[in-house]
Amino acid sequence: MPNRLIASALLAAGLASALPALAADPYLIRDVRVFDGQKLLPKRNVLIASGVIASLEHQGPVPEHTVVIDGHGLTLMPGLIDSHVHAYQNFSMPLLFGVTSELDMFTSVSVLQDMNRRMERNENKDRPDIFSAGTLATAPGGHGTEYGLPVPTLTKPEEAQPWVDARIAEGSHFIKIVMEPGSATHAIPTLDKPVVKALIEAAHKRGKLAVVHISNFADARTALELGADGLVHLFTGEAIGDADLKSFVQLARQRKAFIVPTFSVMESMAGLQEEDVLSDKDMVSLLNKEQIAPLKATYGQAAKPQMLVAPNAVVAALKKAGVPILAGTDAGNTGTQYGVSLHHELLSLTKAGLTPSEALTAATATPARVFKLPIRGRVVKGYKADLLLVDGDPTHDITATRRIVEVWKDGEPQSAVRKDQQEKVAQQLAAPKAQQLALPADGRISLFSKDKLASPFGAGWMPSNDAFLGGKSTVQVDYHDDANRAVQIKANVQAGFAFPWAGLAFMPGVQPMEAADLSAARTLRFRVKGDGQKYQVMILSKGGAIPASQTFAAGSDWQEVSLPLDSFKGVDTSAITMIGFNAGPKTGEYQFELADVRLMP
């Protein structure tokens, strides 16, 4: 663990710079119930002034220009902290939902440094404060290299200290380490034990926390045994044996580690949507069409709730053993969205066995304490006025966190921003829909000939591979068969990118990756033959980060494949940007022929 004296000195030195500048009018919330981050306090009068909590026991005259709020029936609590996000877009969105601080587990160096500058200058009233790992530690071609960001990788223990020192010099607040071997069908390179151990020790030598990404039980145990301060995921599974459960929880407790389960993304992997959020009119009224799209998609193509049996059991046992649990969503991934998903995460934590109060602490006081985030996560005199006021008592009904009356960031109220966003969303919904593309009479979108891979509309057909993201896969597309008007796709899918691919893509918009309204179509139909291997159709719509996919086989004889578009979970057919026919992610040589691609009503 980091040296406690160093950490205390850093905290003391950081208090002055962490205090916000003077700005907003004072606020007095009278007779309000207060959850202070750890416990529920009796009704009191809370005064917010100069960007901080000025008093929890205000008596006497009301200061000039003070806005007074009647707190009867309301609860004041710390602004929420999401302990696992990937901050690269929608930076202000979390404040709409009361999330005033975030722990970022991987973003670009430029974003990291901009965040740090904003906080140092007290110029971050319109966004949550973000404390970031910056660049993550991973193996060449490992998880984290697939997003197109430059990632300095490592393979040897002796590289660990220079790597950690470089991250600290860039401004990283803590060190994120990846242990991710991929799946049985798609193995990817990952750091070995000596390198992980060296990274943890290097982080501790510099007084930094070392947190580890894992996705299976074995790596979770290994990370803790090697000295990790915390795990920033749990693992899915249909069951976990009593002996494994007991030993894992004992190990976490002995090592004084913390756990960020990230149910929101585990549920996405299990093919489950955040139905509670999607059905909440108040929540979705703050999300425009592009922002809501990721919540309608999931990584898993079929619902498999049984995959959550193991993490639910583990969280219940961790809670019983007193192991710190932090609420984090992995927002930025398919199936999640910044800010709003944390309310879903709180509900999932209560379903796993935490009381509402414990779930609230997991999103306020506990992450502030564990990550040593200055003067936040509690309702305490002198702390930052990063606060959430809700209708009801979330210590009894966790969904009360969604009934937001007001959010303050550094003492600045966000209700006007929330109202403005609701109006923009309402205007978008009321606006005339974009022109629906008229499909060809026969539905055919592949007008292949020896002269051109033409299409009846859009930017058309083009080879596609992972090269623009730093991958090494290649593809050759040739007109091949006059009788069938087919193209032949020869793909060489190579390691070098975490999820390599190569194939052929159709861009329906006027420009590549521009959205087109294909909602007149109900079915994608095509003919294919090939080498007997499995391939994927991938469809991406505007607002989505990762395409939805369906698998097909290309046998030695021509066959017709028909795929309903609604089987591509989360795809908005009124805003499709790409339809791809790809080989991968398994490496190797592929060859298939494609013909007669149609979008049928």
- Can you tell me the distance from the alpha carbon of 1 to that of 7, in angstroms, rounded to the nearest whole number? 10
Q: Indicate the average pLDDT of the chain.
A: 93
For residue 290, the one-letter residue type is: E
State residue 2's pLDDT score.
Answer: 32
Rounded CA-CA distance 285/422 in Å is 6
Contact yes or no for 534/581 (Cβ under 8 A): no
Q: Check pLDDT > 60 for residue 5.
A: no
Closest CA to 215 of 473, 496, 494, 498: 498
Instruction: Give the pLDDT of residue 569.
Output: 86
Across 157-182, average pLDDT: 98
- Residue 361, pLDDT > 70, answer yes
Average pLDDT over residues 541-565: 92
* pLDDT reported for residue 503: 97
Nearest by Cα to 328 from 380, 269, 260: 260
Q: Tell whether the model's pLDDT for residue 21 goes beyond 50.
A: no
Residue 118: burial class (beta carbons within 10 Å; 0-12, 13-18, 19+): middle
C-alpha 566/C-alpha 522 separation (Å) is: 7
Instruction: Please report the pLDDT score of residue 481 as a whole number.
Output: 82
Residue 536 has pLDDT above 50, yes or no: yes
Q: Is the pLDDT of residue 8 over 60?
A: no
pLDDT at 544: 77
Q: What is the pLDDT of residue 17?
A: 38
Would you say 36 and 378 are in contact if contact means Cβ atoms under 8 Å apart?
A: yes
Closest CA to 172 of 109, 122, 119: 109
Q: What is the pLDDT of residue 202?
A: 98
Could you report the per-residue pLDDT of 254-296, keeping only the tens digit for each?
A: 999 999 999 999 999 999 999 999 999 999 999 999 999 999 9
Q: On the CB side of 561, how many CA atoms lie within 13 Å of its CA?
A: 24
Looking at the chain, the whole-number percentage of residues with pLDDT higher than 70 is 96
pLDDT computed for residue 496 by the predictor: 79
Instruction: Give residue-wise pLDDT tens across range 85-126.
Output: 999 999 999 999 999 999 999 999 999 999 999 999 999 999
CA separation for the pair 214, 220 (Å, rounded): 6
Map out the domains of the chain with their CATH numbers: 447-600 (2.60.120.430)
Identify the weakest region by mean pLDDT among 248-262, 541-555, 576-590: 541-555
The secondary structure of residue 545, as a DSSP letter, is S
pLDDT tens digits for 388-432?
999 999 999 999 999 999 999 999 999 999 999 999 999 999 988
- Which pLDDT does position 23 carry in this prediction? 55
Interatomic CA distance for residues 546 and 236, integer angstroms: 21
Q: Which tokens go with 429? A: 């919904």
pLDDT computed for residue 150 by the predictor: 87
Neighbours of 44 (CB within 10 A): 18
Cα separation, 353 vs 360, in Å, equals 13
Report the C-alpha gap between 208 and 217 in whole angstroms: 25
Is 488 exposed, middle or buried, given 0-12, 13-18 or 19+ CB atoms closer than 10 A? Answer: middle
Give the residue among 321, 330, 169, 336 at the shortest CA–CA distance from 258. 321
Q: What is the full DSSP assignment across 435-462? A: PPPPPPTT-B--EE-SS-EE-SSSSEEE
Q: What percent of the chain has pLDDT over 90?
A: 87
Tens digit of pLDDT for each residue in 304-327? Answer: 999 999 999 999 999 999 999 999
Q: What is the pLDDT of residues 130-150, one digit of tens each?
A: 999 999 999 999 999 888 788
Show the 3-state SS of 224-292.
Answer: HHCCCCEECCCCCCCCCCHHHHHHHHHHHHHCCCEECCCHHHHHHHCCCCCHHHHCCHHHHCCCCHHHH
| Among 366, 367, 337, 102, CA closest to 111 | 102
Q: What is the mean pLDDT of residues 568-575?
A: 90
- pTM passes above 0.85: yes
